[in-house]
Amino acid sequence: MNADRVTGARLAAWWVSTITRTAEGSVARDRRAEVASDVHDQLADAGRRGALGAGSRAVVGRVVRGVPSDLAWRVGLELRPGRFAWHLRNPSTAITTTFVAMVPLNAAADSAGTRARQLVDYRVPLWVATDILGVCILLLAMLALASRAWPGWTAGVESFQPGSRLERARRCATATLGIAMAGSAVFRFGALSLVGGVFWAAFAAALVTYLALLVVTGGVRLLTLGRYLPKVAA
Amino acid sequence: MAYRKPGTLLPLEAEILSAVAARGDSGAHGFVIAQDLAGGAESSKALVGHGTLYKALDRLRTRGLLNAEWEDSAAAEQAGRPRRRLYWITAAGATVLREARSAAKPGLRLGEAPA
């Protein structure tokens, strides 16, 4: 069996490409190449001992043990100077990440009860947190739009190139979901609830689009299964 | 998670510096450093996670304690494997490592905490 096709190698390659996705080009390339070389060396070493299966499991363990550090490394990378301009040029990554953090908060705020014997009303801090994230998303979206109109802000910043048109559409739909949910959360109260309603409608439309894109992506994968299966079996 | 005073080394960083220094002029690459940290090629101890190792190497390189260079692609191609990134200890790294060793309590390994 080819050592680069075992589960450990595949998982390591998938994880490192996921964690370095949308990171700076040279940093991402270096990290991917380093991990690929490390995994190759480890599996080659295991193969020489006649223990490729154990080597593959050991690689899986190394990937899993490294996840917290990988996440911390990625957060550190995002705090480097110049990254904000990159996010203005390519806002969908930051919007989607904030949206993913916002969904459980929003759900918890919605479901927090108002029982009479409850000492603390948890809805208030939950809504405050949700609204703060919502305002962040809306501000980022507006600044990104403004930087399109006045590109001086983001001049020279490289544009992220998704792998396919389907992926580009999915990124766009997810960012729209984030913006729509942020708008519906921020403009939820009082006279502004009408604006919130418009955002809810946009959210529903974006959700339908996103689900349709997921179905299409699944369909494409099914159609290409004949090409993919032999690789898995190998 | 381990926190540090500015200018000091985390136990893992001290062990990495020590492993790289032991490899001398030939330099050390990621997998061999992971093996050395686990106690050598024959050790059955689990190797350090990729994320933990490469984050620490990145930190040491940024602090100027390690130098890194990609090996020649022709050499890697000839050996039939991907290119390795080789690390060497710098003069500043050697000084910091010496200080860390002298600060370690007698009878303890570098990076080992007293019981």
Tens-place pLDDT, residues B1-57 = 555 666 678 889 999 999 999 998 889 999 999 999 998 777 778 899 999 999 999
Percent of chain B topping pLDDT 70: 84
Nearest CA in chain B to A73: B55
Cross-chain residue pair B52–A33, CB shorter than 8 Å: no
- A2, A27, A32, A62, best to mutate vs chain B, most B CBs in 10 Å: A62
d(CA A39, CA A55): 9
- Are A66 and A107 found together in one domain? no
Q: Does A113 touch chain B (CB under 8 A)?
A: no
Q: Does B29 touch chain A (CB under 8 A)?
A: yes
The beta-carbon neighbor of A37 closest among B29, B41, B51 is: B29
Q: Does A41 touch chain B (CB under 8 A)?
A: yes
Query: Sorting pLDDT into bands at 50, 70 and 90, what band is B115?
Result: very low
- Are A71 and A92 found together in one domain? no
C-beta atoms surrounding B103 within 10 Å: 11
pLDDT at B89 over 70: yes
d(CA A209, CA A173): 7
Mind listing the domains of chain B with CATH numbers? 11-103 (1.10.10.10)
- Are A57 and A95 found together in one domain? no
- Are A74 and A153 found together in one domain? no
Residues A61 and B45 sit within 8 Å (Cβ to Cβ): no
Nearest CA in chain B to A3: B81
ipTM of the complex: 0.85
A231 within a domain of the structure (yes/no): no
Q: How many CB pairs under 8 A join A and B?
A: 87
Give me the pLDDT at residue B6, please: 64
- Are A41 and A112 found together in one domain? no
Cross-chain residue pair B85–A12, CB shorter than 8 Å: no
Nearest CA in chain B to A77: B55
Q: What type of residue sits at position A111?
A: S
Closest by CA to A71, choosing from B50, B73, B5, B89, is: B50
Give me the pLDDT at residue A230, please: 58
Cross-chain residue pair A41–B29, CB shorter than 8 Å: yes
Residues of A in contact with B84 (CB under 8 A): 37, 41
pLDDT at B58 over 70: yes
DSSP-derived letter for residue A112 is -
Q: Does B58 touch chain A (CB under 8 A)?
A: yes
CA distances from B77 to A43, B73, B83, B87 (A): 17, 6, 8, 20
Tell me how far apart the terminal alpha carbons of chain A are, to the nearest angstrom: 7
Give me the pLDDT at residue B107, please: 52
A230 within a domain of the structure (yes/no): no
Show the tokens assigned to A151. 């590109």
Quote the minimal CA–CA distance from A176 to chain B in Å.
Answer: 32
- Are A137 and A154 found together in one domain? yes
Domain assignment of residue A138, given as a range: 83-223
A52 within a domain of the structure (yes/no): yes
Give me the pLDDT at residue A25, please: 78
- Are A96 and A57 found together in one domain? no
A234 within a domain of the structure (yes/no): no
- Are A109 and A60 found together in one domain? no
Where does a domain end: A80, A105, A137? A80
Where does a domain end: A48, A65, A80? A80
**A178-196 exposure pattern, b = at least 16 Cβ within 10 A, e = fewer:** bbbbbbbbbbbeeeeeeeb
Give me the pLDDT at residue A133, please: 95
Nearest CA in chain B to A76: B55
Task: Tell me which residues of chain A have a pLDDT lower than 70.
Answer: 1-4, 113-120, 225-234
Q: Does A121 touch chain B (CB under 8 A)?
A: no
- Are A55 and A171 found together in one domain? no
Residues B82 and A36 sit within 8 Å (Cβ to Cβ): yes
Q: What is the largest CA-CA distance in chain B?
A: 49
Where does a domain end: A15, A50, A80? A80
- Are A87 and A59 found together in one domain? no
Show the tokens assigned to A48. 């020489």
Quote the minimal CA–CA distance from B47 to chain A in Å.
Answer: 7
Query: Percent helix, strand, coil in chain B (nearest 5)?
Result: 50, 10, 40
Number of domains into which chain A is organized: 2
- Are A127 and A213 found together in one domain? yes
Q: Does B84 touch chain A (CB under 8 A)?
A: yes
Report pLDDT digits (tens) over A164-208.
888 889 889 999 999 999 999 888 877 788 888 999 999 999 999
Place of tokens 């390795």: B84
- Are A116 and A187 found together in one domain? yes
- A18, A32, A38, best to mutate vs chain B, most B CBs in 10 Å: A38
d(CA A53, CA A58): 9
Residues A60 and A7 sit within 8 Å (Cβ to Cβ): yes
Backbone angles phi, psi at B85, to 5 degrees: -100, 120
Q: Does B6 touch chain A (CB under 8 A)?
A: no
Q: Please, where are the H alpha helices in chain B?
A: 11-23, 30-37, 50-62, 73-79, 91-103
